[in-house]
Amino acid sequence: MTTALHLAPLVSAGLISGPIDVYEASVHKCQPTSPAKMGGRQTHPGSGSRGRDIGVGIWSTAWWPFLRSLEAGLNVLSDGSNDNPSSSMKEVLAKEKNRESYQTLLRDLEMCGSYVKEVGYRTPDGSWLVRSELNATPYGVQDVLAGEDGNAGKDKYDAPALLFVREKDLLSCLRNAVKIEKSLGTIALHSGVRVDGIENVSGYMGCLVCSDTTEDANSQQQPKLSKQYHLIIAADGLSSTLRSRYAGHHSVHATGIESSPSKSAQYSKWEHTKGQRLATLVEGRNYIVFRGNAPKLTEEDGSGSFQTWGEQRSMRFAAVPFRHACGDSDEDGDASTFHLGKSTWFEKKDEEEVWFATINDKKIFDTYRTLGSALTAEERKKLLLDAFGSWHKPVRELIESTPAEGIMYEMAVAHRFSASPVFDISSILEFERNRERKKEHEKYNDYNQTVNGPGPILLFIGDSMMTIDPVLAQGFTIAMESGASMARSLERVLTRQDNSSFRQHLLRKELKERHYRSEKRVLNLLRSTELVQRLAQPHGFISGFFATRIVRPVMKYCPEGLKKTVFDHVIRYSLGLTGRGNRGHRR
């Protein structure tokens, strides 16, 4: 949905044909969700169309692109250049970026949650290793509309902020912004439609193979073909269907290296199978993640944001107090004017503390692998209390005050490699066709397909590009950043002064370069994640001794100013806000 919102101005400016079609396998239903029913084993990764009650963190790099777009549009409107018939296409596009959907989204996000201020790392006895403060009053939509420049003498897009909202509120905010664009004809949302593949390749275009997933869908129904597209964006998460079929075919390391036509058929076949296996590999990270929302504690009970590092069994515990609107965030209204911030359910806000814990306890692992769940919700909660109950306040209090049925748990998993863009769908379809023909016991159904040309570009964003460890709370942030960067790349190609007509090779070159830039951004996050994980969840005697007996004492007794400087730098580095890459990332 974020990607579609960032593409909407390009549709309005006439640079790409609309509407942007968004296909969603699950069907969004506006039915209240009982907190007691949200917990338990998470049998599938991802939040679904509705989202869960659990609190999630969104870093400011996820919403800054919307703010920059609004600024660009307001600047063009203020100098009157949009009234000039000779205005350039860039000015026309900038004017279109002043969108009501962006204003609505940004207002709703601020109304739905609260900003985190104090953050830091602790040890199980309650000692602080390092503490710092985030920007709890970031430059926002009201500042943009008022024409204010934010903090004088400082870059308003330089101080990172962290907003905590309920997962379902985040999705509702995005969905309501999409409703506004839907009324303008720039976005079309297709619910209950699963995308299974790509067929009917002709030139640089291709169709999606779609299946109906609604409750009244006939299981015997044949898949249908969509209209043809030049660009297909896979944003379907960890278990992406399109990634599992098309990623990594021409690279043994899934880095987008194209095979040469002169290579032998045998080597090409090896490239396809080996590269695809590596590109689609999902590996367990050897620990279980538990999550829950607890009632807000008092300051005497130890309320506040923190992350505590354990000393064995990959144990870690973190908590963040946050405020959110009461009740359900899904309401109907006039799509052209409605936004959640004006609705009645904002009249009162609940205060809760979202927490998560990680552990690799063998009994819990065995329980997770047993679909029948050998342990009850109360027994799982008791295991957590036994493991974390002796830790500092308010760890035990948070676990005890959370309903057992409301505690979610899932295996931590991640991709080993990122998925690069696919520019040769036709050769992959040919590879699949030959493989199917060799299976004599299966009849190949070609959907009346044709393959004539290289086919459309297939791009992966968010978790479908690469799912990483849930250590630094950046999963949603990376996904939203991906949508913005993809739209910027498309914009650069379509507004080039020397480009009188659309040329595919320019887009393919730009999207390949964009992928390398995105890999650098993800690499920053991976390095930061690995550092924190090794210090917070030590494995083995040597690494455990080094982390707990050397690094942590040094951190504890270092000067506060030095610790804070290093801590702030790690946060900025993980968000891609340091070094030369900072300027490119922020553009």
Q: Which stretch of DSSP H or E encloses residue 464?
A: none
Q: What mean pLDDT comes out for the span 523-544?
A: 81
> Are 409 and 544 found together in one domain?
yes
Name the 3-class secondary structure at 531. helix
Asked whether residue 504 is assigned to any structural domain, the reply reads: no
Q: How confident is the model at residue 348 (pLDDT cuts 50, 70, 90)?
A: low
Residue for token pair 């960890």: 238
> Are 79 and 99 found together in one domain?
yes
Q: Is the pLDDT of residue 244 over 80?
A: yes
> Are 59 and 158 found together in one domain?
yes
Among the residue ranges 233-237, 328-332, 424-428, 431-435, the one predicted with the least confidence is 328-332
> Are 181 and 54 found together in one domain?
yes
Q: What share of the chain is helix, strand, coil (3-state, %, to 5)?
A: 40, 20, 40
Asked whether residue 511 is assigned to any structural domain, the reply reads: no
pLDDT number for residue 48: 63
Q: How far is CA 401 from the centre of its chain?
A: 29
Amino acid at the residue 170: L
| Phi, psi dihedral angles at 497 (to 5 degrees) | -65, -30
> Are 373 and 408 found together in one domain?
yes
pLDDT digits (tens, 9 = 90+) for 350-399: 889 999 999 987 777 776 666 545 678 898 899 899 999 999 999 999 99
Q: Is the pLDDT of residue 330 over 80?
A: no
> Are 163 and 206 found together in one domain?
no
pLDDT number for residue 439: 63
Q: CA 256 to CA 371: how far, in whole Å?
A: 37
Q: How confident is the model at residue 35 (pLDDT cuts 50, 70, 90)?
A: very low
* Among 24-33, 123-132, 291-300, 493-502, the range of highest mean pLDDT: 123-132
pLDDT number for residue 133: 92
Q: CA 483 to CA 465: how far, in whole Å?
A: 12
Packing angle, helices 2-12 and 475-494, rounded to 10: 20
pLDDT number for residue 254: 39
pLDDT number for residue 556: 87
CA distances in angstroms from 416 to 284, 412, 519, listed in the order given: 10, 13, 13
Q: CA 523 to CA 576: how far, in whole Å?
A: 9
Q: CA 492 to CA 312: how far, in whole Å?
A: 49
Asked whether residue 493 is assigned to any structural domain, the reply reads: no
pLDDT number for residue 587: 44
Q: What mean pLDDT comes out for the span 96-120?
A: 92
Amino acid at the residue 299: E
Residue 179's domain comprises 2-190+283-415+536-573
Q: Is the pLDDT of residue 337 over 60?
A: no
| Chosen domain end from 425, 442, 464 | 464
Q: Is the pLDDT of residue 151 over 60?
A: no
Contact between 180 and 336 under an 8 Å Cβ cutoff? The reply is yes
DSSP letter (8 states) at residue 68: H
130 Rama sector, left if φ>0, alpha if ψ -120 to 50, beta otherwise: beta
DSSP 314-341: T-EEEEEEEEEESS-------TTT--GG
Q: Is the pLDDT of residue 124 over 80?
A: yes
Q: CA 560 to CA 120: how far, in whole Å?
A: 12
> Are 33 and 135 found together in one domain?
yes
- Does the global pTM surpass 0.95? no
Mean pLDDT (the chain) is 81
Contact between 487 and 10 under an 8 Å Cβ cutoff? The reply is yes
Q: What mean pLDDT comes out for the span 200-223?
A: 85
pLDDT digits (tens, 9 = 90+) for 487-505: 999 999 988 755 555 678 8
| Chosen domain end from 464, 497, 521 | 464
Asked whether residue 204 is assigned to any structural domain, the reply reads: yes
pLDDT number for residue 357: 93
Q: Is the pLDDT of residue 155 over 90?
A: no
Query: Residues for the chain: how many in total?
Result: 587
Peptide bond into 85 cis (omega under 30): no
> Are 144 and 197 found together in one domain?
no
- The number of distinct structural domains making up the chain is 2
Output 43 or 197, whichever has higher pLDDT: 197
Q: What mean pLDDT comes out for the span 398-416?
A: 90
pLDDT number for residue 70: 93
Asked whether residue 490 is assigned to any structural domain, the reply reads: no
Q: How confident is the model at residue 161 (pLDDT cuts 50, 70, 90)?
A: very high
Q: Is the pLDDT of residue 33 over 80?
A: no
> Are 440 and 567 found together in one domain?
no
> Are 299 and 223 found together in one domain?
no
> Are 292 and 405 found together in one domain?
yes
Q: CA 196 to CA 245: how far, in whole Å?
A: 9
Peptide bond into 295 cis (omega under 30): no
Q: Which of 176, 162, 166 is nearest to 1 (CA)?
A: 176
User: What does the buried/exposed string (b/e) look like for 477-505 if buried means 16 or more CB atoms within 10 Å of the residue's CB?
Assistant: bbbbbbbbbbbbbbbebbbeeeeeeeeee
pLDDT digits (tens, 9 = 90+) for 550-571: 888 899 889 999 999 999 999 9
Q: CA 88 to CA 92: how far, in whole Å?
A: 6
Asked whether residue 326 is assigned to any structural domain, the reply reads: yes
pLDDT number for residue 449: 53
Three-state helix/strand/coil letters over 410-438: EEEEEECCCCCCECCHHHHHHHHHHHHHC
Contact between 540 and 314 under an 8 Å Cβ cutoff? The reply is no
Q: What is the CATH number of the domain that holds 52?
A: 3.30.9.30
Asked whether residue 503 is assigned to any structural domain, the reply reads: no
Contacts of residue 187, Cβ cutoff 8 Å, sequence gap at least 6? 4, 5, 8, 18, 19, 20, 22, 178, 181
Asked whether residue 486 is assigned to any structural domain, the reply reads: no
pLDDT digits (tens, 9 = 90+) for 296-328: 887 666 678 999 999 888 889 999 998 887 666
Rg (CA), the chain: 25
Contact between 424 and 401 under an 8 Å Cβ cutoff? The reply is no
Looking at the chain, the whole-number percentage of residues with pLDDT higher than 70 is 78
> Are 314 and 443 found together in one domain?
no
